[in-house]
Structure 1
């Protein structure tokens, strides 16, 4: 079934929309959640929460690309769950490792308080990423947006693990320099 038809089922408040979305994208969404959370049961819980969130948010939203919309919901829900659970214990997902790596560029414990600061930081990071060569941007996004391990990124991109780690390190250093230059750090 095509995305448009599934979205239409959501708009008609037809409960089969949830089953269709789970059938088409469940495995992908579970993989997204598992990379962040590091646990199959947590990923299943996150998938259920994602489908519930989709039911509540469609309508009023009418996503053009349902897979991306659901993946964004999954990522947000997974990160929220990871933050809640990390308060009690340090978890084994890629989220904690990725944050540790990015701490040198962006202070994870001192997020900007004001919405304007967050917006400027986001715009600066987006501009930085847009200026990167395609492969460097792909490696960076696979690691820090999709939360793949360094080994998984290397495998997906056809690089050695050491080349991938080195590329990520250099990119983080350049990001830090850029944010310092713009006085955002």
Structure 2
């Protein structure tokens, strides 16, 4: 079924919309949640929450790209769940590594002022990724959007793990420079 047809089912409040969404994007969304949460049951719960939130958001929202719309909801829910789990117990793994890596170039999100500037920051990061050469953009997104392990990224792009790590380090430095230039970081 085409995305437009699925979206129409949501607008008609037809529960088949969720079935069609799951059929077309369920595995993709579950892999995003599992990469973040590193737990199959939590990922499954996150997937169900994604469908509920999608049901609540469509309508009134009419997504231009359904796959991206769903991925964003799944990521938000998975990160929220990750934070909740992490606040209960300190863990490690890929998610912990990624947050540590980005800590050096993404400003803290504490306070009202930072919350207000969050959308602008999101736009700057999106522009940064769009301006990257295609391969670098895919590597950056694989690590920081899809929360993939460096080993998986190296296999996917036929690179050594060290090469992937160096590439990511350089990209973080470029992002940090961009954020300094935009006034989001203070040197």
> 1:105 touches 1:173 (CA, 8 Å); kept in 2?
yes
Q: Deviation digits for residues 97-150 of structure 1, max 9, x if unmatched? A: 211111121244x54631443344334333433332222222111111111111
Decide whether aligned partners of structure 1 residues 59 and 116 sit closer, same or farther in structure 2, where only a CA change above 3 A counts. Answer: closer
For residues 29-178 of structure 1, what are the structure 2 equivalents within 5 Å? Answer: 29-92=29-92, 94-108=94-108, 110-111=109-110, 113-114=112-113, 115-178=115-178
- Segments of structure 1 that go 5 or more residues without pairing to the other structure are none
1:9 paired residue number? 9
Decide whether aligned partners of structure 1 residues 34 and 87 sit closer, same or farther in structure 2, where only a CA change above 3 A counts. Answer: same
Decide whether aligned partners of structure 1 residues 107 and 61 sit closer, same or farther in structure 2, where only a CA change above 3 A counts. Answer: closer
User: How many residue pairs are counted as aligned between the two chains?
Assistant: 184
> 2:107 touches 2:184 (CA, 8 Å); kept in 1?
no
Distance in 2 separating the partners of 1:105 and 1:165: 16
> 1:154 touches 1:160 (CA, 8 Å); kept in 2?
yes
For the pair 1:19 / 2:22, whether they are aligned, the reply is no
Decide whether aligned partners of structure 1 residues 93 and 63 sit closer, same or farther in structure 2, where only a CA change above 3 A counts. Answer: farther
> 1:37 touches 1:94 (CA, 8 Å); kept in 2?
no
Distance in 2 separating the partners of 1:173 and 1:158: 23
* Greater shift in the superposed pair: 16-25 or 124-133: 124-133
Decide whether aligned partners of structure 1 residues 151 and 2 sit closer, same or farther in structure 2, where only a CA change above 3 A counts. Answer: same
> 2:7 touches 2:58 (CA, 8 Å); kept in 1?
yes
What is the CA distance between 1:179 and its match in structure 2?
2.4
TM-score norm. by structure 2 comes to: 0.87
Distance in 1 separating the partners of 2:4 and 2:129: 31
Distance in 2 separating the partners of 1:65 and 1:124: 20
Distance in 1 separating the partners of 2:64 and 2:180: 37
Residue 137 of structure 1 aligns to a residue whose secondary structure is helix
